[in-house]
Structure 1
C-alpha cells in the first residue's frame, strides 16, 4: 500500500549521489573534441566520395583494376560476393560452355554407359586436359545430385558463384569504347527467368545484369541451366539497393528505361537506345516498384494481345535488348 516503506525498493540505500574521483578529467576530454570534420568527399561512406571516385575513373577511362573475364565473373573475383554453397550445373550445353570459358570445376560427373556425342567427347577431353576429377555414377545418383533436373547424363560441381560489382559493368563498356548496356531485374524471384535474361544479354551484347540482394533470384543451378552457359560469360552484379544504384548510374550519364504495360512509348521506339542504357524489368505480378520507377527516364511497353496479361521477365528483356541492338546496328 502507499507509504509502506518496508516493501522492497521503497527506500534508497546509501548516501546522496556525489562526484567520483577523476570525473574532471573525463569532462576535459569530452571538451577537447575530435578535431575538424573531414570534407564530405574524403569520407569513404559519403555519396560525395563515391562521385569523386566515379569522376576520377571516368577521366582515366578505366578503374585501374584488372580486366574482368568470363572465368573471373563466374568462378571468383577479389571483390565479388559468393554464395554459401556449391552449385551443380547439369546438361551438355551448359557444362560444355562452362568448361570452354574456364570455370573452375570441382568434379565432373558422367552417367554410366553414357551414349557419347561430339559434346560429351569435348567435355571429357577438356576436363581431362584441365585435370578435373571425373566420376562415373549411376543415373539414379546423377538424378539425386541434380535434384531431378534434365541432366543428359552430364553434370559438374562448380565453386560458389562470385557476383561482380555494378561498377565492373561500367568499366567493361569503357574498355570496349562502347555505350554501356545492362539489364536490371526488379523483384524477379524465379532463377529460370534470370537464366533467360542472361541468355538474351549474352546474345545481344549486354555488359551484364544487375539484381538486388534481397527478394530476388540469384545465380543458382536453375539459372545456369536455363542460361545455356551464358552465366559463365555475362557478369551478374548484386547490389544492396537497386533504386540507389540506378540513381548513381544516372549521375554517371546512364539513362534508365523501364518496361511496363502502361508505358509512354512502344519498345520498337525505345528511347536512348544509342546512349548508355539500363533496361529495367519488373516481376510479372507487381511490375516495377515505385522507388525504381521514379529513377526511370522513360517507360516503354511491348504491345501484346489483350488475351495475354503479361510477358515473363526473360521474354520481355529479350525483346527490349533486340530493339536496342537493332537501333545500335
Structure 2
C-alpha cells in the first residue's frame, strides 16, 4: 500500500539510524537560489569588468575641466596629429611637412575642405578615408570636424651643429636658448623671430620644455623649415660649450644688470637665453650667463612671454649689428 512505511525498502538504514522519507530535509535545496543575476552584476564576468571601466572613465572625464578626457602625453619621436579644418588649412598655408590627410567618409564639404583637398592634390599629399571613430582615436578625442593630418617627428640638431650653420652664413653666430619654456606656441614664435632677424637656430632642453610639435610648426609660419632647432640634454652644459667656443651668453631677466639698449656684446657671437614668463631664468642658467639684461618697461609689474621677449631682444641685437 502506498505510504506504508512498514513495507520492505521503505525505510533507509544509514549510520545515523533509520529515516522515513525526506521529512522536508531537502526542501531548501530544491527551492534554488533565486533568479540568475545579470551578466553586468557578476564580478568576474567580462560584461561587469567592462561596465566598471566605463564608470571609471566617466568619473575621470567629469573630474576634468570642461568634461574633457585625460590627454596622453606623446612619446618623443611619435607622429604628431593636427585636428580640425582651420588648423589644417593654416598648416598647409605655412607649408608644414604634412605626410598624410585623413578625411571622414561622407564629410560635408565647405570652402576649407575644398582648399585642403586641392592643396593635398597639388602637393602630392596622400588622402586617406577614415571613420569618425578612427579619427577620434587618432586625435585623442580632439575636435577634428571630420579631417586630421599627420606631421612627422621633428629631427633635432645637436647644439654645436648651430655653429656650423653660423659659419656658413659668414656672420657672427646668433643663437637663442630657451630655459623652461613649456608652451610650443612660444617656441614657434621664437623660431619665427630667429628667422626674421638672421639668427642661426634655437636650443631647447630635452626635459620639461616645449618641443617642435605641430602647434610649434604652425606658429612658426613656415620658419621651422629654415631655422634648425637643437635639443640639449643639459642646457647649462650646452651654454658652457658655447662659451668655450667663443660665444658670449646674455640672459634676459626682469632683474638684469644692464638694460637691453645698453648691450655692448651684440656685435660678437652671441647666445641669448630666454626664461619662462613669470619664473624667468633658473638659478644655474643665470649664474652661467656672462651678462644679464632686462627689457625696460613702463610698469615694473608687467612681464612678457618668451616669444615677445625674444623678438625684442633679437631686434635690438640686429640694430646694434
TM-score range, shorter chain: 0.5 to 0.7
Cα-to-partner distance string for 1:245-294 (whole Å, 9 max, x where unaligned)? 11111111111100011112211233321211110001123211121112
- Deviation track 1:195-240 (CA, whole Å, cap 9, x = no partner) reads 2212212222211110111111111222223222322222110011
Give the corresponding residue for 1:222: 215
- Matching residue within 102, 109, 113 for 1:113: 109
Q: How does 1:1-329 map to 2 (within 5 A)?
A: 83-89=76-82, 90-99=87-96, 103=97, 105-107=99-101, 112-115=108-111, 121=115, 124=117, 127-135=120-128, 156-306=149-299, 308-328=301-321
Number of residue equivalences:
241
| Structure 1 residue 194, shift from structure 2 partner | 1.3
Contact 1:91 1:152 in 2 (8 A): no
Q: Is the 8 A contact 1:92 1:154 kept in 2?
A: no
Cα 1:182–1:140 change in 2 (3 A) is farther
Q: What RMSD in Å do the two structures reach over aligned CA positions?
A: 3.1
Which structure's CA Rg is the greater one?
Answer: 2
Looking at both structures, which has the greater relative contact order when contacts are Cα pairs under 8 Å and sequence separation is at least 6? 1
Whole-angstrom CA distance in 1 between matches of 2:243 and 2:279: 24
Q: What is the deviation of 1:147?
A: 6.6
Residue 181 of structure 1: how far off its partner (Å): 0.9
Q: 1:257 to 1:149 in 2, by over 3 A?
A: farther
Report the equivalent of 1:30.
none
Q: d(CA) in 1 for partners of 2:226 and 2:133? A: 31
Equivalent in the alignment of 1:71: none
User: Is 1:257–1:279's contact at 8 Å kept on the other side of the alignment?
Assistant: yes
Unaligned runs of 5+ in 1: 1-81
Would you say the 8 A contact 1:197–1:313 is kept in 2? yes
Deviates more, 1:291-300 or 1:142-151: 142-151
What is the TM-score of this pair, normalised by structure 2?
0.65
8 Å CA contact 2:99–2:149 kept in 1: the answer is yes
Q: Distance in 1 between matches of 2:210 and 2:126?
A: 30
Give the Cα–Cα distance (whole angstroms) in 1 for the partners of residues 143 and 318 of structure 2: 32
User: Displacement, 1:88?
Assistant: 2.2
